[in-house]
Structure 1
């Protein structure tokens, strides 16, 4: 078995070790990032929805930065939302500052009934900068 090339953001390694998963894995020129939620440093959910979404993006950006990436390197996004019918508009109005300019990454949105006390989770795949194709 190939050894996993794990990426840990600063200050959160204990949280990932306690929950027994890797925040991100580098493989074949890509970075596969585990779902990020609006958790505080102790792992507890941020109770207010807008603050929780911002914190989820902040946590995501910390993982990306630890791998030398930014959201501009993201090629695929999956979001999970508890009760998207009532929360989608609130969540999506917060996205533009994090999302950047077009062309945007691909997106899959999934409505779920439970996220371990959270209302929003985002997972991504990013192309690592050292393997980015040069413009023609």
Structure 2
């Protein structure tokens, strides 16, 4: 098996090693980012929902930055929300602060019952800078 080309954000490698997963993997011209939650530096959940969502995006942006990307390089997003019916509006008012410019990435939102004490998680696939995106005219 080939060695995985892992991307670690500054200062959080021990957290990922303790939990036994990679924050992101480069593969060809894509960056696959693991789900990011609104954790504090010690990995514990941020209790305030808006702050938790901001922390999730900050954790995501730290990984994107470590790979030389921004949110504008993101092509696909999956978000997970505990109890989306009651929390969606609170979560979605924070999203534009980080979302990037139009055209926006594709999005899949999934309602879940449990996220290890968190209420929001975001995972993305991004195009690595300096690579050629394959596009097709509509």
TM-score, length basis structure 1: 0.96
Aligned residues: 135
Deviation at 1:100, TM superposition (A): 1.9
Considering only aligned residues, what root-mean-square deviation do their CA atoms show, in Å?
1.3
- Partner Cα distance (1:82, 1:132) in 2: 36
Deviation at 1:134, TM superposition (A): 9.7
- The answer (yes or no) to whether the contact 2:127–2:133 under 8 Å persists in 1 is no
1:130 equivalenced with 2:126 (yes/no): no
Deviation at 1:28, TM superposition (A): 1.2
Structure 1 runs not aligned, ≥5 long: none
1:1-136 to structure 2, matched below 5 A, reads 1-133=1-133
- Partner Cα distance (1:97, 1:37) in 2: 16
Instruction: Give the secondary-structure state (helix, strand or coil) at the position aligned to 2:6.
Output: strand
Instruction: Give the secondary-structure state (helix, strand or coil) at the position aligned to 2:94.
Output: coil
List per-residue Cα deviations over 1:62-85 (Å, max 9, x = no partner). 000000000000000000000000
Moved over 4 A (4+): none
- The answer (yes or no) to whether the contact 2:24–2:31 under 8 Å persists in 1 is yes
Deviation at 1:133, TM superposition (A): 3.9
TM-score, length basis structure 2: 0.95
Deviation at 1:132, TM superposition (A): 3.6
Structure 2 runs not aligned, ≥5 long: none
